[in-house]
Amino acid sequence: GENVEQHPSTLSVQEGDSAVIKCTYSDSASNYFPWYKQELGKRPQLIIDIRSNVGEKKDQRIAVTLNKTAKHFSLHITETQPEDSAVYFCAATPSGGYQKVTFGTGTKLQVIP
């Protein structure tokens, strides 16, 4: 089955700096890669996703890049703000019917004002 590794497990940045979180996946058939943000005590919520036919996707201060050859994808947050502090999860889903989503172990991002 799919295996997703996520690094780093914790990340501290100064407000205004950029943050990068990286994930690798094992199944070359994976074609859907969502990122979820979980604030303390709350439920995970989707912030951005990318499909295998796209190399990069941006949404305001957030971007995701995908390298299918190397089987890794990354989340980039620019101009970080204190409200970006949360745990971020990457995930991967293989193509085909009835496949399940596999999550990374999460990255706790702390933005220091």
Partner 1 sequence: NAGVTQTPKFRVLKTGQSMTLLCAQDMNHEYMYWYRQDPGMGLRLIHYSVGEGTTAKGEVPDGYNVSRLKKQNFLLGLESAAPSQTSVYFCASSYSQHTEAFFGQGTRLTVV
Q: Toward partner 1, which CB reaches closer, 14 or 60?
A: 60
Q: Does 67 bind partner 1 (CB under 8 A)?
A: no
Minimum CB separation of residue 20 from partner 1 in Å reads 19
**CB neighbour list of residue 43: distance below 8 Å, 6 or more residues apart:** none
Minimum CB separation of residue 21 from partner 1 in Å reads 13
Q: Toward partner 1, which CB reaches closer, 10 or 18?
A: 10
Minimum CB separation of residue 103 from partner 1 in Å reads 4
Minimum CB separation of residue 17 from partner 1 in Å reads 25
β-strands 10-14, 107-112 pairing? parallel
Q: Which residues bind partner 1 (CB under 8 A)?
A: 6, 9, 31-32, 34, 36, 42-46, 49, 51, 89, 93, 95, 98-106
